[in-house]
Amino acid sequence: MSFRYELLQLDPSTAARRGRFHTPHGPVDTPAFMPVGTQGTVKGLEIGMLRATGAQMVLSNTYHLSLRPGEENVRRLGGLHAFMGWEGPILTDSGGFQLFSLAQMTQVRETGATFRSHIDGRLIDLSPERAVAIQEALGSDVAMVLDHVVALPAEKNAVLDACERTIRWARRCQEAATRADQALFGIVQGGLDLEMRVWCAEELRKLNFPGYAVGGLSVGETPEEMYRVLDGVVSHLPEDRPRYLMGVGRPRDLLEAVRRGIDLFDCVMPTRNGRNALAFTAQGTFRLRNKIHETDTRPLEEDCPCPACQRSRGYLRHLFQADEMLGPILLTAHNLTYYQRLLAGAREAIAAGQFDDFYRRQLAGWSASEKEPAKSEEAG
């Protein structure tokens, strides 16, 4: 079997775990953060720079690539790996989240969803079978089932309806899948209702997916509500499969989820914020447009190997003030490097049986400086 989750270590005092997820395009050391390459590129990063951040696996989007350039064009251009020049593992999101966040006039029926493209208003159908077919044409290593996401807070009936549909659609996706070199992950829905989350997890386990995601979070709830859901649901996911928390989040969220047993993450937070001059560091976040950085000769972080940290804060500020592309480029590289270093640190701490110490040290560092941005955001 091309896909295998190898559990390497359990932290003694938390549910954190270290492992290795094997894919046809190589292994991923977990817990791991996947940079978001929505349209077949992590915005602003030439592929060598992306590799240099330490990322092992990237995410791309079914919804966007099927609209433009179209999955058949990606296939003709050699599939997603050759298309974007990334030789490592790729996970594609199914489009479920974009139906909820980005598409216009989305109507969900049992057969599938109908929506208008955010690019040209075209009317488009996305069924579970079509979501699988697109992802097979793209040729990602991991495909996601098409799920039904609802904004929180929501009525219990709406959450239950979406959760049940997600399970039915998961089965249809599984039946439609044909590629042996592509793993299909199930997605647990159920809003903030722990009982429903657990039920959904148990139902999906019966389908024996090679990996499981927790979806429908970071969509309006508080961080504490999200952590509570993870507290309730993660132990109901099989220990021998990777566990992926979709679209989350802030550095703090990652560590909270790691300590609850999550293995995989993706989020636009480091990249989108980087483009907007917000830098993540072990001392918290910096807004690089602030005048205090104007003549600061120090790098963002002394020990960071990224190209932004070969320059001064003053230079980085100048790039943003002067609307130079290089500002977003360098800060994207830095923030992704920061996220990768954070998770590499988490993996080392788990290996040493000291994740809780690591977690506390990071929190103490962040609280030293400005506040973090209030809210995690998923891919637009």
**Site for a second copy, rule CB under 8 A:** 39-41, 43-49, 64, 68-69, 73, 76-78, 82-85, 294-295, 297, 307, 310-312, 314-315, 317-319, 321-322, 324-326, 328-330, 333
Please, what is the minimum distance in Å from the beta carbon of residue 269 to a second copy? 18
Please, what is the minimum distance in Å from the beta carbon of residue 309 to a second copy? 11
Cβ proximity to a second copy: between 120 and 195 the closer is 120
Among 11, 141, 266, 303, the active-site one is: 266
Nearest alpha carbon to residue 30 among 53, 49, 55: 55
Cβ proximity to a second copy: between 25 and 259 the closer is 25
Please, what is the minimum distance in Å from the beta carbon of residue 140 to a second copy? 16
Cβ proximity to a second copy: between 54 and 211 the closer is 54
Cβ proximity to a second copy: between 48 and 157 the closer is 48
Among 93, 141, 147, 253, the active-site one is: 93
The answer to whether 34 touches 55, Cβ cutoff 8 Å, is yes
Nearest alpha carbon to residue 330 among 317, 340, 343: 317
Q: What is the CA radius of gyration of the chain?
A: 20
Structure tokens at 252: 């703090």
Please, what is the minimum distance in Å from the beta carbon of residue 60 to a second copy? 12
Cβ proximity to a second copy: between 151 and 325 the closer is 325
**266 is an active site residue:** yes
Distance CA 131, CA 129 (A): 5
Cis ω before 249 (30° cut-off from 0) = yes
Please, what is the minimum distance in Å from the beta carbon of residue 113 to a second copy? 22
Distance CA 325, CA 310 (A): 17
Please, what is the minimum distance in Å from the beta carbon of residue 368 to a second copy? 25
**141 is an active site residue:** no
Cβ proximity to a second copy: between 68 and 168 the closer is 68
Q: Which residues are catalytic?
A: 93, 266
